[in-house]
Structure 1
Amino acid sequence: MFYTLFINIGSLFLMMLPGYILIRKNILSTSALKDFSHVIVKVLYPCLIFSSMTRNYTIEGVLESWQLPVAAFIILFVGYIIGLTYNGFFGSTNVESKKSMLFQFTINNYSFLPLAIIAKLYDESHMAALILSTLGSEITVWTLGMAILNTKGKRFDIKSLKHLWSPPLVSIYFSLGILLGMHALGTSLNQIVNQHVTFKYINQTIYELGEACIPLSLIMIGGRMGKINFADLKSKNLWIVTLFRLIIVPLAAVLVIKLIFPNHPYQNVMLIVCVMPCAVASLVLGEIYGGDQKLLSGTVLITHIVALITIPAWLMFLISK
């Protein structure tokens, strides 16, 4: 089973390779990569969210699945508690390094990489479950995550919560509004789409745009990793974060999730999120709010490389078909 999982996960990492090569060969510029990210975050990912949510959920189903965003929050909060404990006993005296380590202990790659893995292993309903769970993750990032980075430099204030109105989250809110409206009308979006040709083709266009999200996101992640300097991999703190992010934090999070949600139908989705590497978004957030850039970039690179082994190893023991 490990070999099968390794091949599945490895094929996803291969999809990152074009982005990595294009950046390293200077074929794709940093500014183009940023534009690329905007297209994914502001167009493709919202389309995927809307398509998955409206095709797989009713408003009753969403309310019954409240455990998913709660589980996402719990997973990140477990990392936060472990990070606080580590910093309390062994943390660096350097403020930027200390908060950067805590952020990497807390926030993992909770969306694009697990979405690609789930698309490989399960059906669209599991993808929709992950997307719903990201509501809890996003709220955690823009509250607890920003509080971690709020020590010096650009200050976090209430205006920073505008990120809770980012295009992906707005797409979740809009999808929930559509589902609520369909419930009030006593119908479903699928019924309306099937009855009107115009709506049918609009819905199909949204679906096809969403389908492009996963491969292009992986190329974008590869491009981001291509900007990282391998010389940044010498720090002891980097390897400490890697150990905790890929082994210790997942172990604790898995135990908590299995304890709190022992029989949840989408427990496998929660467990996959538990074992993810550091978030690529930490590079951007670290630049904005201040952080140890060598530590952030190094941990993103090395945890993704090592995760090629740890993710299939974890999943071999955790998931059931």
Structure 2
Amino acid sequence: MALSDVYNQLGILFLTMLVGYILGKIGLISKEATENFSKLIVKVAIPAIIISSMMLPLTPDRLETCLSMLLISIPCFLGSYLLGVLGAKLVCQGYGEKAIFKYGMTFPNGIFMGLPVIHAILGSEAIFYVAVFNIFGNILAYSLGIRIMSSNNAQKATFNLQSTLRLLLNPGIAACIIGIILFLGQITLPKFLFGTIDLIGSICIPLSMLTLGAMLSGLSWRGLFAKPSLYILTFCRLVVLPFLTYVLLTLTFGSDNLWLLAVPVVVAGMPIAVNAAMFAQEYGNDAVLASQSVFISTLLSCFTIPILAYVFI
């Protein structure tokens, strides 16, 4: 892929994010609106685009790739967590800083930012594989992720099977299940129904980037340069993890299957998940540090993602 093509596609996304940042700064997109947009994206737009992207003809190659993607995601996420644990021991001080480092290494912004970016680079079919790849990550976020973020809290989060299952059965997972059923059963939806789902899903990409920009506008630049661990975390998240993912997958599967190589590598190179700050706030960890990690990794990803796509894909 030519670097100019990558920049053209991703430039549209990042410029849209910049518009969201400006609109947030001038108050046209308020904090309340940002929160409502986030809910709309997570509960409606993302499920819609996942379902519409899974309405594909069933072929042996697609089925094999789908199963392989699900299996690949397990060592990818667990390996990232182990690197996070190692890195936290080496460069972080205090439980809060270590928790943010581990969480940031384990959980990329694979859906909220990953879907628009991968759609821009690889096209609409890639969304199908991204959704499958993130199933295990979603499950891990609401189990291991909560445990990581509660490590700074004297009253550690208690895990109730019923409440945990309720968290796991979120709209994104539900959409994946519905999409896989439609895909495996080759069920054709009525045109008006598919058209509605497809239309709603089409708002996901622009609204995600506008909302992400507005979110960043509410974060403070103050203290960004005070923690060296933030920059080490960002470098590992945006550069080291996609490089290691690329090397390991190339050695394991070769470079014949574009999806099995490109999707995990691009997801690995996404910035830190935006829910890091939300989880830190909810479970008594350092929400300010978590917000700063999201801010700086998202900002620098504007430069690393185009290079990542050019070099590794």
Could you say if the C-alpha distance between residues 291 and 139 of structure 1 is closer, same or farther in structure 2, counting changes exceeding 3 Å?
A: same
Cα distance in 2 for residues equivalent to 1:214 and 1:167 = 17
2:220 aligns with 229
Cα distance in 1 for residues equivalent to 2:217 and 2:48 = 27
- The alpha carbon displacement at 1:52 in A equals 1.0
**Is 1:291 aligned to 2:285, yes or no?**
yes
Letter in 1 for 2:180: L
Deviations 1:273-311 (A, max 9, x none): 121111112121221123222321112111122112211
1:27 aligns with 28
Q: Indicate conservation of the 8 Å contact 1:282/1:296, yes or no.
A: yes
Q: Indicate conservation of the 8 Å contact 2:121/2:309, yes or no.
A: no
Could you say if the C-alpha distance between residues 160 and 154 of structure 1 is closer, same or farther in structure 2, counting changes exceeding 3 Å?
A: farther
Could you say if the C-alpha distance between residues 56 and 11 of structure 1 is closer, same or farther in structure 2, counting changes exceeding 3 Å?
A: farther
1:162 aligns with 166
1:205 aligns with 196
Deviations 1:10-57 (A, max 9, x none): 221111123212222222222221111111111111111111112355
- The alpha carbon displacement at 1:232 in A equals 3.0
Could you say if the C-alpha distance between residues 114 and 261 of structure 1 is closer, same or farther in structure 2, counting changes exceeding 3 Å?
A: farther
Q: Indicate conservation of the 8 Å contact 1:76/1:137, yes or no.
A: yes
Further displaced range: 219-228 or 136-145: 136-145
Cα distance in 2 for residues equivalent to 1:40 and 1:5 = 25
Could you say if the C-alpha distance between residues 56 and 41 of structure 1 is closer, same or farther in structure 2, counting changes exceeding 3 Å?
A: farther
Could you say if the C-alpha distance between residues 204 and 104 of structure 1 is closer, same or farther in structure 2, counting changes exceeding 3 Å?
A: same
Aligned residue runs from structure 1 range 103-182, under 5 A: 103-151=103-151, 152=153, 153=155, 155-158=157-160, 159-180=163-184, 182=185
Q: Indicate conservation of the 8 Å contact 1:232/1:294, yes or no.
A: no
Could you say if the C-alpha distance between residues 62 and 283 of structure 1 is closer, same or farther in structure 2, counting changes exceeding 3 Å?
A: farther
1:215 aligns with 206
2:51 aligns with 50
1:189 aligns with 187
- TM-score, reference length from structure 1: 0.87
2:16 aligns with 15
Deviations 1:81-124 (A, max 9, x none): 111112223331x2111111111111111113222122222232
SS of aligned partner of 1:148: helix
1:257 aligns with 249
Cα distance in 1 for residues equivalent to 2:91 and 2:173 = 36
Percent identity, aligned pairs only, is 25
**Is 1:300 aligned to 2:294, yes or no?**
yes
Further displaced range: 54-63 or 81-90: 54-63
Further displaced range: 53-62 or 287-296: 53-62
SS of aligned partner of 2:47: helix
Aligned residue runs from structure 1 range 235-254, under 5 A: 235-254=227-246
Letter in 2 for 1:189: I
**How many matched pairs?**
305
Q: Indicate conservation of the 8 Å contact 2:50/2:176, yes or no.
A: yes
Further displaced range: 153-162 or 163-172: 153-162
Cα distance in 2 for residues equivalent to 1:21 and 1:154 = 38
Could you say if the C-alpha distance between residues 285 and 173 of structure 1 is closer, same or farther in structure 2, counting changes exceeding 3 Å?
A: same
Q: Indicate conservation of the 8 Å contact 1:242/1:303, yes or no.
A: yes
Cα distance in 1 for residues equivalent to 2:164 and 2:42 = 18
Q: Indicate conservation of the 8 Å contact 2:96/2:286, yes or no.
A: yes
Could you say if the C-alpha distance between residues 12 and 256 of structure 1 is closer, same or farther in structure 2, counting changes exceeding 3 Å?
A: same
Deviations 1:214-263 (A, max 9, x none): 11111111111111101131222211211221222222222222233324
Q: Indicate conservation of the 8 Å contact 1:232/1:297, yes or no.
A: no
SS of aligned partner of 1:54: coil
* Structure 1 spans left out of the alignment, 5+ residues: 183-187, 194-198
Cα distance in 2 for residues equivalent to 1:58 and 1:155 = 44
* Structure 2 spans left out of the alignment, 5+ residues: none
